Amino acid sequence: MSKKAIGIDIGGTGIKGAVVNLKSGSLIGERVRHETPAGGKPGDIAKVVAKLIAQLPDAKPGMLVGICFPAIVRNGITMSAANVAKEWIGLDADALFTKELGRPVHVINDADAAGVAEIKFGAGQDVDGLVIMTTLGTGIGTALFMNGKLVPNAELGHLEIEGVDYESKASFAAKEREDLSWADWAKRLQVYYSTLERLFTPDLMIVGGGVSKQHEEFLPKLKLNSPIVPAIKRNNAGILGAAALAKKAAK
């Protein structure tokens, strides 16, 4: 089995991808990014992914492709849709991309992919017990691991706290939308992570998403019993995890 695979990370605003060295957990060559087409329709997104892969000089014919996507994904079928067209709901995404790309494709949830990258190559390596990966961005994505094994589609970002879906108050998008200071945003994160801790008593919590680059602005403000650390792979985590899971699915 090849030590390389292609990882694609589809988001509501951008689609990025690269060839991945599955042994070292690093990108081979440059990462390529395209805007997500307006409306986020399945056929349009599939065409952009095909164009992106064609621009990767290290992408060889037949190379496995892992695609992470902002949806609950069950056996390659997208069961929900966040910031993309509703036509994704109930769609066989594996079949769509396999037909468009002409190569084996495995589609998974985006937060699960980011979590796998951190467990295999980043902050969660060799950690026993329960690990919760969170991504702070447009919403709050989460991935749950027990002794390094993924429990897929754990949508813990949508916990109802104080009568609301709490990602609407604690996501990084909420910080920007309401122009919250780091201190005020940290108070909301404290409520969220304290709830996770009370419900699950995790052995480790990992915080990813683009804002994790500025973790020193908010993580030290949180008072928790469980250790909480910034992600290491950050914006490449989805690409790395998607590629790794594509290889695993092909075994």
- Give the pLDDT band (50/70/90) at residue 242: very high
Flag whether pLDDT at 57 surpasses 60.
Answer: yes
Rounded Cα distance between 208 and 221, Å, is 16
Q: Which of 138, 148, 147 minimizes the C-alpha distance to 116?
A: 148
Is residue 153 within 8 Å of 110, Cβ to Cβ?
A: no
Distances (CA, A) of 194 to 100, 154, 200, 216: 44, 17, 10, 19
- What number is the average pLDDT over the span 54-67? 93
**Pairing of the two strands 204-208 and 130-136:** parallel
The overall average pLDDT reported for the chain is 94
Q: What is the pLDDT of residue 241?
A: 96
Type of residue found at 108: I
pLDDT, one tens digit per residue, over 153-185 is 898 999 999 999 999 999 999 999 999 999 999
Flag whether pLDDT at 81 surpasses 70.
Answer: yes
Flag whether pLDDT at 43 surpasses 90.
Answer: yes
pLDDT, one tens digit per residue, over 102-115 is 988 999 999 999 99
Full-model pTM: 0.91
- What number is the average pLDDT over the span 204-227? 96
pLDDT, one tens digit per residue, over 8-39 is 999 888 999 999 999 999 999 999 999 999 99
How far apart, in Å, do the first and last CA atoms of the chain sit?
Answer: 8
- What number is the average pLDDT over the span 104-132? 95
> What burial class does residue 170 get, using C-beta atoms within 10 Å of its C-beta: 0-12 exposed, 13-18 middle, 19+ buried?
buried
Q: What is the pLDDT of residue 138?
A: 83
* Residue 217 token pair: 């602005």
Give domain limits for the chain. Answer: 4-112+236-250, 126-231
- Give the pLDDT band (50/70/90) at residue 207: very high
**Pairing of the two strands 77-78 and 14-21:** unpaired
pLDDT, one tens digit per residue, over 85-94 is 899 999 999 9
SS3 111: helix
Q: What is the pLDDT of residue 205?
A: 98
> What burial class does residue 186 get, using C-beta atoms within 10 Å of its C-beta: 0-12 exposed, 13-18 middle, 19+ buried?
buried
CATH class name, domain 126-231: alpha beta
φ, ψ at 160 (rounded to 5°): -85, 115
Secondary element (H or E) of residue 75: none
Flag whether pLDDT at 1 surpasses 60.
Answer: no
Does 4-112+236-250 match 126-231 in CATH topology? Answer: yes
| CB count in 10 Å sphere of residue 223 | 9
Is residue 5 within 8 Å of 247, Cβ to Cβ?
A: yes
CATH class name, domain 4-112+236-250: alpha beta
Q: What is the pLDDT of residue 194?
A: 98
Q: What is the pLDDT of residue 2?
A: 74
- Chain centre distance of CA 146: 18
